[in-house]
Amino acid sequence: MSAPFREAVVDLDAVRANIAGLAAQVAPAEVMAVVKANAYGHGAVPVARAALEAGASWLGVAFLDEAFELRDAGITAPVLAWLHGPDALFAEAIERDIELGVSSIDQLRRVADAAAHVAASRASASSTASRTPTAAAAPAAVHLKIDTGLSRNGVPPEEWADAVAFAAVLEGQGRIRVRGVFSHLANTDADADRAQLEAFEEALAAASAAGLKPEVRHLASTAAAVRLPASRFDLVRVGIGTYGIPPYGDGTTAADLGLRPVMTLRACVAAVRRVEAGVGVSYSHTWRAERPTTLALVPLGYADGIPRHASSRAEVLLAGRRRPVVGRIAMDQFVVDVGDDEVAVGDDVVLFGDPATGAPSADDWADAADTIGYEIVTRVGQRVPRTFGHGA
């Protein structure tokens, strides 16, 4: 029986195992499973459900439309979205009980205005319309983000005192509830992470001095959650660890961290041909056969997220062995050299998966493309069907 033409197999049992293992390691801190970017290419809704079943108590996304997708699927767990444009639909997010990461005083003002609109709409639709909103009933739950050194999103340190003071006023008016304070580490080195940790603790002290009492303080993603226990606070945001890919780039493997790779990207051999020595392969003939050899065609290419930079550098698992990709990776296909071994149309080809099976890992492909494992799984395109299974 032929292998599937092309598919990304997502092992939901591996998601559960990764979340459960990390949750046990970071306890008593809670776990937020980050499912932004379609769960790093794995499928947001199925992964979110599996993560929640395994012990995650929060879900994290970048954009509001990603949060809306989770709510549309009937997921009611706490969801935090933290990256917003000037036209962000804050009122809809508040109506749908989505918690909002706030990274500037202007955003805080806009969220408060949206919250006032929602409160007024609720009051007009309620039989108790005359009731005055209180802080406990505030419709918008926000997490204030402080930039502790990543120099991307977040309230600049010099504006933090004004931001927390303003947030305290809005909370007193019943327009918002400051449920969380958070930041993000650069994961540069231990000294830099500790410096950011100290900056975060100073920000928390300033928030407390302003009268705020956040329930949830969070700083660590997978990398720090594992190696910097002091960064765990009340909640850790588990992104790449959910998917069984190590975050470090130092040779640490998934197995070293007790993680299982979640995605297996596979296809079947679409064509086989025998060529003589000297024959060029694919565009520009950047690779030529040094001897008579057999070539297998794999129907995946850079339109599917296969990195062109991995041309003549990556390997696949085919016919029981790892085989080299040869020639340029094209939009829809690439070529594998199998030497004198026998392969046939329909044979299974695994680009990456669990190294315990003999397959390359996503990190192996990342090394071949001079990138990181995050990019390899996240860029797998939508024309590659996702198959959700167990023990894939």
pTM for this entry:
0.93
Alpha helices, DSSP H, located in 188-301: 190-209, 222-227
Percent with pLDDT over 90 in the chain? 89
- Evaluate whether 12-243 and 263-389 have a shared fold: no
Q: 349: pLDDT confidence band, cut at 50, 70 and 90?
A: very high
**Residue % of the chain over a pLDDT of 70:** 95
When pLDDT is cut at 50, 70 and 90, the band that residue 10 belongs to is very high
Q: Which residue has the tokens 């050899």?
A: 293
pLDDT at 2: 65
In this prediction, residue 391 carries a pLDDT of 54
Indicate the domain borders of the chain. 12-243, 263-389
The pLDDT value given to residue 275? 98
What is the per-residue DSSP string for 305-369? T--GGGTTT-EEEETTEEEEEES---SS-EEEEEETS---TT-EEEEES-GGGTPPPHHHHHHHT
- Cis? peptide before 28, omega within 30° of 0: yes
Q: Would you say residue 244 has pLDDT above 80?
A: yes
The per-residue pLDDT for range 266-317, each reduced to its tens digit, is 999 999 999 999 999 999 999 999 999 999 999 999 999 999 999 999 999 9
**Residue 139's pLDDT is what?**
82
What are 296's strand-pairing partners? 272, 336
End-to-end Cα, the chain, rounded Å: 18
Q: Work out the mean pLDDT of the chain and round it to a whole number.
A: 94
Q: Are 72 and 81 in contact (CB under 8 A)?
A: no
CA dihedral 34, 36, 37, 39 (to 10 degrees): 40
Q: Are 83 and 63 in contact (CB under 8 A)?
A: yes
Amino acid identity of 234? Answer: D
- The residue written with tokens 């990195």 in the block is 307
Give the per-residue pLDDT at 127.
Answer: 55
- Are 356 and 18 spatial neighbours (Cβ–Cβ below 8 Å)? no
Strand ranges, E, within the chain? 6-11, 30-34, 58-61, 79-81, 99-102, 140-145, 176-182, 216-218, 235-238, 263-268, 271-275, 280-281, 287-288, 293-298, 315-318, 321-326, 334-339, 348-352, 386-389
Confidence at 251, pLDDT banded by 50, 70, 90: confident
Q: Judging by beta carbons within 10 Å of its beta carbon (0-12, 13-18, 19+), is residue 27 exposed, middle or buried?
A: exposed
Residue 188 has a CB neighbour count (10 Å cut-off) of 12
* 75-101 per-position pLDDT tens digit: 999 999 999 999 999 999 999 999 999
pLDDT at position 392: 43
Q: Are 226 and 25 in contact (CB under 8 A)?
A: yes
122/330: higher pLDDT = 330
In contact, 15 and 44? CB cutoff 8 Å: no
pLDDT of amino acid 191: 85
190 pLDDT band, cuts 50/70/90, is: confident
Report the alpha-carbon distance of residue 118 to residue 328 in Å, rounded.
55
pLDDT per position as a tens digit, 119-139: 888 877 765 544 444 433 568
203 and 183 Cβ atoms separated by less than 8 Å:
yes
Pair of tokens at residue 8: 């990304």
Catalytic residues: 36, 283
Class of the CATH-defined domain 263-389: mainly beta
DSSP codes joined into one string, 252-275: --TGGGT----EEEEEE--EEEEE
pLDDT value at residue 3: 75
Q: Is 383 exposed, middle or buried (0-12, 13-18, 19+ CB in 10 A)?
A: exposed
Written out in words, the top-level CATH class of the domain with range 12-243 is alpha beta
